[in-house]
């Protein structure tokens, strides 16, 4: 197997294990076993568990930003369209998105700083789309949208789908 493929497999398995056990209970030995590599092999790609976790967060954040960067709509539709985009990301990559949206709870300063950078970047992406759609007060509306996203994560984790604000519209 090509080295880059193994790195991808390591990150994919890390998503599953971090998602199941959380940052603090996950070990690189567990990730190595799940990925079918030795623990030292993980350190060819990642300096430590923290760097592996950051790579997982970066992959998920890139998915979120990529999806949001393609959302279109007028000022009165873009928020709803972006909500649908968020639901689609959650459906396709639930564990990754939940990790990004809950990573602020990890107290390790380097991870906390990394998460701040991710949140700022996602906010900039949303704000840019809102500005392009001529949403009034785009910066504030982007912050409100992100706050709503946090709420959606809470109801996802608690399995309360009846609380979703962005319901699929009936097909016509």
Q: In terms of domains, do 31 and 112 share one?
A: no
Q: Same domain for 87 and 25?
A: no
CB 52 within 8 A of CB 46: yes
| Residues 84, 27 share a domain | no
Residue pLDDT, tens place only, 50-60: 999 999 999 99
Distance CA 48, CA 42 (A): 8
Q: Identify whether residues 7 and 87 lie together within a single domain.
A: no
| First-last CA distance in the chain | 48
Number of folded domains in the chain?
A: 2
Could you tell me the CATH number of the domain that includes residue 34? 1.10.10.60
The pLDDT tens digits for 111-151 are 999 999 999 999 999 999 999 999 999 999 999 999 988 88
Take residue 54 and report the two structure tokens written for it.
């950051």
- In this prediction the pTM is 0.85
Residue ranges making up the domain that contains 31: 1-46
């Amino acid at each position: 197997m090509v080295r880059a493929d193994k790195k991808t497999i390591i990150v994919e398995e890390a998503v599953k294990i971090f998602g199941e056990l959380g940052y603090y209970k996950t070990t690189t030995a567990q990730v190595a076993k799940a990925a079918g590599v030795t623990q030292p092999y993980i350190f060819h790609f990642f300096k430590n568990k923290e760097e592996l976790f950051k790579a997982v967060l970066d992959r998920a954040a890139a998915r979120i930003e990529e999806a949001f960067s393609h959302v279109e709509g007028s000022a009165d539709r873009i928020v709803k369209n972006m909500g649908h985009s968020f639901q689609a990301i959650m459906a396709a990559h639930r564990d990754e998105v939940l990790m990004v949206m809950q990573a602020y709870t990890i107290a390790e300063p380097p991870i906390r700083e990394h998460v701040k950078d991710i949140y700022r970047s996602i906010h900039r992406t949303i704000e840019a789309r809102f500005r392009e759609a001529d949403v009034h007060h785009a910066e504030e509306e982007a912050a409100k949208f992100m706050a709503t996203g946090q709420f959606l994560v809470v109801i996802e984790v608690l399995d309360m789908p009846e609380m979703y604000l962005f319901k699929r519209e009936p097909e016509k």
